Every structure is written in structure tokens, then in C-alpha cells.
Amino acid sequence: MNEFDFIEKIRARVRAKQDSASALSTQHSALVQGIGDDAAVVRSQTGKDSIVTTDLLIEEVDFKRDTTTPELLGHKALAVSLSDIAAMGARARWGLVSIGLPPDVWETGFAERLYDGYFTLAEQYGVELAGGDVSRTTDKILLDSILIGECDSGRAVLRRGATPGDQIFVTGFLGDAAAGLRLIERGARVHTAVGPRRVEEHSAERLLLRQLRPDPRVGWGILLGEQQLASAMIDISDGLSSDLNHLCKKSNVGAVIDAARIPIDKLVTEICGRRALDPLMLALHGGEDFELLFTVKPENVPRLPRKVDGVSICQIGEITGGTGKVRVAEKDRVWDLKPEGFDHFKL
């Protein structure tokens, strides 16, 4: 299959989805022109702002070919962008994917399997593939995921809205993806999950998948944005220490975190115990959990639901004065938290 045939195939898949979705659609925003022209044309509803994010995934830096699958990679490319849109309190609408593949990888059908993973997640959250670019590379695989979302004008939840007294929350659990990465580095693989030690392996696989197939907190993001519950928000891609530091700096505030309240999965604690690792360090500095970190004014806290899409939240601390000064209260001591998460970053 040559590249033009491939594009036509992808386009046909997008069309089939559009046809089946159009009967159900009640939204006025529309993809006027998708794949197959010089650019995509999208029409937003009046009174909406557009939210645009782009995320690179580069082989040997963000993933390794032999520890993931094309489907997982397609999923992750969209998931990291969905997480960004969620962190703005917005609803994802249209995606574009730029993909670079070496010729030998192209021959294996890698691209089609990658789009399988992308489409499965896109369908779950109502994202339409609107375009992209496909290129040859000399030897490495690369992906750039571009995602466009929408929210009511002026309602995007920025990093800069937190004020002293706001309560700090996170969704889900922290440190899972970092624990999963360590297991992968020690040789664990997703497809080795079934075997004699089925239950334990299966549990470990859950952590591997937190690293390889993150679940963006889409439902929480939309709820916090549309109901104006969050005063500031960021997704945890670099690690709590770095991302809380970003949020505090942008908001000109500080924060104090209660170590005992940080949600750590029992399995992470157990695995760390066996390997003499400190689970708190993974939760504070481990990246790629793609949980949401957000602040809520005290009067709004009672309005927070307990769970959205089965995902709960934890109140882990409070916003204070002192720009960028983040402290951790652990038992009877309080210490300064330096941003020591992964140092990749976004413009």
C-alpha cells in the first residue's frame, strides 16, 4: 500500500465514523473539511473559545519500540493531548496527527495499527481526526499529536487562577506510571501478563499500562471547567513537584502538601517495598500519570462530586502565600519541595 492509498483508507474510516455519528450529533460545531485538502476547516459555535495543544512523542526519548505496541502508541499520542485539553477544563473536538516513520517500519503496517489505537480512544471521547502530515524518517519513529478543544468563551481554566486558601486536589493515584516505567526498565512487558503468577502479573500489568496507555481525566476536566469549580488546573505530566511548581509560579502563590494524603496505590507501595524505593518519591517526582492537579475555593469544595467516570479525587494540600514556595508536611517535619520531575516541557 502506498502512502496515498493509506491516506484514502484513513479518510474512509473517518467518514464512516462521521456518518454513524451525524444522526446523534446535537452540537453546532462542525468539521467543515477534514482529511484531503491543504488544511482542515473547523467551525466553532458562537461564544466558544478554541483550545489548541501539541505534543511530541519521539522514539528512544518518550518510548521504545520494543516495550510498547503501535496501538498503545496511537492511544498515548491522543491521550497526552486529551489530558492537556482536560487540564484547560475544555472538551476535545478535532485532532491532527503528524507521523514520521522509517521505510522499514512503514512496510510492517505499523501506521495502520497506530491509527487503530488512536481511533479507539478518539471514538470514546468524540474526537474527529481532521488532518495531519505523514513523512518518512531515516530511522526513528516520531509522532506529533495536535488537538483542538472548545469551551465557553473566557471559561478556560488556566494555571494562574489559584489564590491562598484554595484547596489542592488531584485525581486518581500518583506514581503509578513511574512505577510502571521502572518495571518496564527491568524487563516487564505488557504481553507477558498471563502465566503461572497470573494475579500478581496482572496487577503489575495495570501499572505498565498506566505508563504505556494512560487514561486522560476527560470527564473531570470538563466537569471542573463547565461548572466553574476549579480556580486553576494543570495535568501531571512532569511529576507533582514540577507541575505544582508551575501552577504556583503562574498563580504567584505557594502551597503546602500533606504527604499522608497523597494518593498512592497499594501495589506501588508494595513494589517499592520489595525494591527499597520510596513510594512517596515516585508520587512526588514521577511523571506521566496524566492525573489532574487543581485548586478549588473553599466555598466550592462541597459542590465537588466524589467520583467522575469511576475516578475519585483527594485533597492533598492548600494554597499559601509565597510565590513558588512549595512545602511538604510529613509527620512532624515540613520540608521544601523542589521541582524534580521529568524535564521535558511545553511552550
CB nearer to a second copy: give 120 or 153. Answer: 153
Candidates 178, 173, 168, 159; CA nearest to 285 is: 178
**Residue where the block lists cell 517495598:** 273
Q: Does 85 bind a second copy (CB under 8 A)?
A: yes
For the bound state, the minimum distance from the C-beta of residue 44 to a second copy, rounded and expressed in Å, comes to 6
What is the 8-class DSSP label of residue 299? G
Angle CA 230–175–246, to nearest 5: 45
CB nearer to a second copy: give 38 or 332. Answer: 38
For the bound state, the minimum distance from the C-beta of residue 99 to a second copy, rounded and expressed in Å, comes to 8
CB nearer to a second copy: give 90 or 208. Answer: 90
For the bound state, the minimum distance from the C-beta of residue 203 to a second copy, rounded and expressed in Å, comes to 31
CB nearer to a second copy: give 155 or 267. Answer: 155
For the bound state, the minimum distance from the C-beta of residue 58 to a second copy, rounded and expressed in Å, comes to 5
Sole binder of a second copy in the list 25, 153, 192, 323 (CB under 8 A): 153
Using a 10 angstrom Cβ sphere, with 0-12 exposed, 13-18 middle and 19 or more buried, the burial of residue 321 is exposed
For the bound state, the minimum distance from the C-beta of residue 294 to a second copy, rounded and expressed in Å, comes to 11
Sole binder of a second copy in the list 73, 78, 87, 141 (CB under 8 A): 87
- From residue 200, alpha-carbon distances to 162, 178, 273 in Å are 41, 18, 15
Q: Which of residues 111-130 bind a second copy (CB under 8 A)?
A: 129-130
Q: Which of residues 234-273 bind a second copy (CB under 8 A)?
A: 234-235, 250
Sole binder of a second copy in the list 107, 123, 133, 278 (CB under 8 A): 133
Q: Which of residues 277-316 bind a second copy (CB under 8 A)?
A: none
Q: Does 135 bind a second copy (CB under 8 A)?
A: yes
> Is residue 222 a contact partner of residue 89, using CB atoms and an 8 Å limit?
yes
CB nearer to a second copy: give 146 or 183. Answer: 146
Distance between CA 156 and CA 49 in Å, rounded? Answer: 8
For the bound state, the minimum distance from the C-beta of residue 173 to a second copy, rounded and expressed in Å, comes to 20
For the bound state, the minimum distance from the C-beta of residue 252 to a second copy, rounded and expressed in Å, comes to 13
φ and ψ at residue 183, rounded to 5 degrees: -65, -40
Q: Does 345 bind a second copy (CB under 8 A)?
A: yes
Sole binder of a second copy in the list 127, 148, 177, 280 (CB under 8 A): 148
Binding track over 30-59 against a second copy, x by CB under 8 A = --xx-xxxxxxxxxx-x--xxxxxxxx-xx
CB-CB neighbours of 126 under 10 Å: 14
| Residue 162 identity | A
What residues have CB less than 8 Å from 217, skipping those under 6 apart? 83, 86, 171, 172, 235, 290, 291, 292, 308, 309, 311
| Residue 215 identity | D
For the bound state, the minimum distance from the C-beta of residue 160 to a second copy, rounded and expressed in Å, comes to 8
For the bound state, the minimum distance from the C-beta of residue 334 to a second copy, rounded and expressed in Å, comes to 26
Q: Does 327 bind a second copy (CB under 8 A)?
A: no
What residues have CB less than 8 Å from 155, skipping those under 6 apart? 49, 89, 225, 226, 228
Sole binder of a second copy in the list 15, 28, 64, 136 (CB under 8 A): 136
What residues have CB less than 8 Å from 75, skipping those under 6 apart? 117, 118, 120, 121, 213
Q: Does 26 bind a second copy (CB under 8 A)?
A: no
CB-CB neighbours of 177 under 10 Å: 27
Distance between CA 158 and CA 84 in Å, rounded? Answer: 11
Q: Which of residues 55-84 bind a second copy (CB under 8 A)?
A: 55-56, 58-62, 84
Distance between CA 108 and CA 110 in Å, rounded? Answer: 5
For the bound state, the minimum distance from the C-beta of residue 250 to a second copy, rounded and expressed in Å, comes to 7
